[in-house]
Structure 1
Amino acid sequence: MKNNGNIFWGAILVAFGVLMLGVVNDWFQFEVSMRELAKYWPVLIILGGIAVFFTPKRTVFNPTTALLVAFAIPLAIYNASTSAIDKVKAEINDDFDFDVEMDDNDDNFTFDSDSSNSYNTSQNFSVPFDKSVQEVNLEIGGGAAEFFLSEASGSDVFSAETKLFENKFNLEDEKKGTIQEISFKMSSKNGSDNIRLGKGMNNDVNLKLSKAPIWNLDLGIGAGELKFDLSDYKVKDIKMETGAADISLKMGDKLKESKVRIESGVAKVKVMVPKNSACQIKMDGALNAKDFDGFSKSGSRTWKTENFDTATNKIYLEIESGLSAVSVDRY
């Protein structure tokens, strides 16, 4: 009986280990994602408890139970983290019952009389378009907010409309030859980097960019949502650092080469790339849910489209993530 029990649990551990190794390294194709499988981490705890009865001394201090618990812990963390992704947007729009102190004499803010909450403030920014500018380096730093993108008017290379709760954006720009440097960063009303949430918070940032120049984007996004349709823009480089956020990027084919680098903690990241452009994905991070439709694995943590070696236009994606759900689709 004792030998049969050891054989049984040994087989279970081998099968589970091979399964997990295959999922992490994309050896297997499942209709059920890693994110769905992670929901069943308590099963490992149950199996660990059953394993106690198969040990001679019936103690929890046995190798089988220890291994099952060791597998269950990262799956539990992964499940909790991915669940947090789905709650990010809801948390942004929820009411927070925090005390708020406002200085009505602050001239840097214009109160929106149409807002349902008097603590929301609105700001408008713009940078005139200079025809000699060929390339723009745009740095954006934001806390908990929703970011949206549209086309700027003919007279502006950059403009923005913000509606924030007790926070503000600061705009700085400098022209260096044919390159425009723009810095657009959020801070709290007292000038600190501690972005506060409050009751009735509604942080919206509507950005408008000209389609004329080449763009290099440096995006620092905290908790929030970012939806950028860049299919009609000449995007040379994107660098994004994000925490718990919902990110959606739609790339175009206006340049022969575009690079996208994303560093995320717990996030939902979706990138769309055109079918007539080749694409390469390099991704670091084991505990991530991956969906790379139309890509083939070409090496360790590397995926490519079939036309990558021969295509004229190429998009390079580098993703470094802790616990995220990442998808790359072709349109």
Structure 2
Amino acid sequence: MENKITSGIWFVFIGLILLLHNLDVIDFNFWATLKYWPLLIVIVGINLMVQNRNYGSYIKIGCNVLFLGWIFYVGMVTPSSHWAGNLFNNKDIRIGDLDDSTPLQNEVHALLDSTISESTLEFNGGAGNFHIQSLAGDTLVAATSADQDMGMNIETSRRDNRQQVVINAKPTSKKKKSAQVAIGISAEPLWNLELNYGAANISGDITHVRFKKLEINTGASNMDLTLGSPQEGTAKIAIATGASKIHFRIPKDAAIRVKYSSILSKNSFEDFATNKDGIAKTANYEERNKKFDIELDGAANTFTISRY
């Protein structure tokens, strides 16, 4: 009976913390609590020691309540490096470490250089809602925040006859998940895209954007993207994420290969000829010169490809 009580305490605690955090009632630093995981071993040891002893159930319940109380205290008082930001941090990019002395704006853009045929965009953002679409005119890339919850800065350069753009977007309020950014990308050049996010909602239509590489590094996210047909040899799409819901809309005649992790994941690929051992292919993949190579790295994902 005491095992059911302690389990119930854990479920109630975790459920309430997640609910209050998602509703922005509290700002709980999940990441700060992870380093105390060895205390779980201590709790398990105490539970075994007092099993079947007088007052053992009270000791079990008391120890679990004290442990969860400590976790709650740590998560609430530790200076907030938002847990999604830590899921996001990869390579040498840390959104929380952006230079605060650099002016942050609600709108940034870079002009199209007509002498350049290939461009690179690196977009680094924390938690929020990001919408991507193609852009016409003489603007290469533009990003606009719909409110005051997200600030951005931009750097542009030329290297090896390539126009490079880096945009950093940083939440400026505690309501990180409500921050909205619209990103426009020119359909003129050939792109290398690197999109780095926290726990975000990512949506958009990039059917007219030509790219040879699309790299997405994100925390636990919802992603819904519409792609056009591959136009430049083998266009590579690399996604590194976990516990995410991913939906790609891709034209029916596009040739596609998907390499994915099946660990705790659910995958659904429409009109694919083969799907086994973590590799799925369309029937026309080998014969086409222009194709998508998609690689999904992570676990506990739901990955869906539908055709239009």
Corresponding residue for 1:69? none
Distance, in Å, in 2 between the alignment partners of 1:308 and 1:290 is: 19
Of 239, 261, 285, the match for 1:308: 285
How far 1:228 sits from its partner (Å)?
A: 2.4
How far 1:177 sits from its partner (Å)?
A: 4.4
- The answer (yes or no) to whether the contact 1:124–1:159 under 8 Å persists in 2 is yes
Q: Give the 3-state SS of the residue equivalent to 1:247 in structure 2.
A: strand
Aligned residues with identical type, % of pairs: 22
Q: Give the 3-state SS of the residue equivalent to 1:295 in structure 2.
A: coil
Of 165, 173, 186, the match for 2:156: 173
How far 1:97 sits from its partner (Å)?
A: 5.4
Distance, in Å, in 2 between the alignment partners of 1:298 and 1:150 is: 31
2:263 counterpart of 1:286: yes
Of 104, 121, 130, the match for 2:113: 130
Give the number of the structure whose alpha-carbon radius of gyration is greater: 1
How far 1:298 sits from its partner (Å)?
A: 5.5
State the TM-score, normalized to the length of structure 2: 0.64
Deviations 1:40-60 (A, max 9, x none): xxxxxxxxxxxxxxxxxxxxx
Alignment gaps of 5+ in structure 1: 1-76, 100-105, 110-121, 190-195
Distance, in Å, in 1 between the alignment partners of 2:136 and 2:287 is: 37
Distance, in Å, in 1 between the alignment partners of 2:102 and 2:244 is: 36
Distance, in Å, in 2 between the alignment partners of 1:259 and 1:107 is: 33
Alpha carbons of 1:308 and 1:166: their partners in 2 closer, same or farther (altered >3 Å)?
A: closer
How far 1:188 sits from its partner (Å)?
A: 5.1
How far 1:211 sits from its partner (Å)?
A: 0.5
Distance, in Å, in 1 between the alignment partners of 2:123 and 2:102 is: 23
Corresponding residue for 1:330? 307
The alignment's C-alpha RMSD in Å is: 3.1
Alpha carbons of 1:203 and 1:188: their partners in 2 closer, same or farther (altered >3 Å)?
A: closer
- The answer (yes or no) to whether the contact 2:103–2:153 under 8 Å persists in 1 is no
Amino acid at match of 1:236: K
Distance, in Å, in 2 between the alignment partners of 1:313 and 1:275 is: 14
- The answer (yes or no) to whether the contact 1:124–1:160 under 8 Å persists in 2 is yes
- The answer (yes or no) to whether the contact 1:164–1:202 under 8 Å persists in 2 is no
Distance, in Å, in 2 between the alignment partners of 1:290 and 1:213 is: 32
How far 1:178 sits from its partner (Å)?
A: 2.7
2:203 counterpart of 1:261: no
Of 184, 208, 228, the match for 1:208: 184
Of 210, 217, 224, the match for 1:234: 210
Alpha carbons of 1:288 and 1:298: their partners in 2 closer, same or farther (altered >3 Å)?
A: closer
2:233 counterpart of 1:250: no
Q: Give the 3-state SS of the residue equivalent to 1:222 in structure 2.
A: coil
Alpha carbons of 1:277 and 1:294: their partners in 2 closer, same or farther (altered >3 Å)?
A: same
- The answer (yes or no) to whether the contact 2:109–2:143 under 8 Å persists in 1 is yes
Deviations 1:113-137 (A, max 9, x none): xxxxxxxxx6111101110111111
- The answer (yes or no) to whether the contact 1:260–1:317 under 8 Å persists in 2 is yes
Of 140, 163, 167, the match for 2:146: 163
Distance, in Å, in 1 between the alignment partners of 2:295 and 2:247 is: 13
Corresponding residue for 1:276? 253
Deviations 1:224-245 (A, max 9, x none): 2111212111111111111111
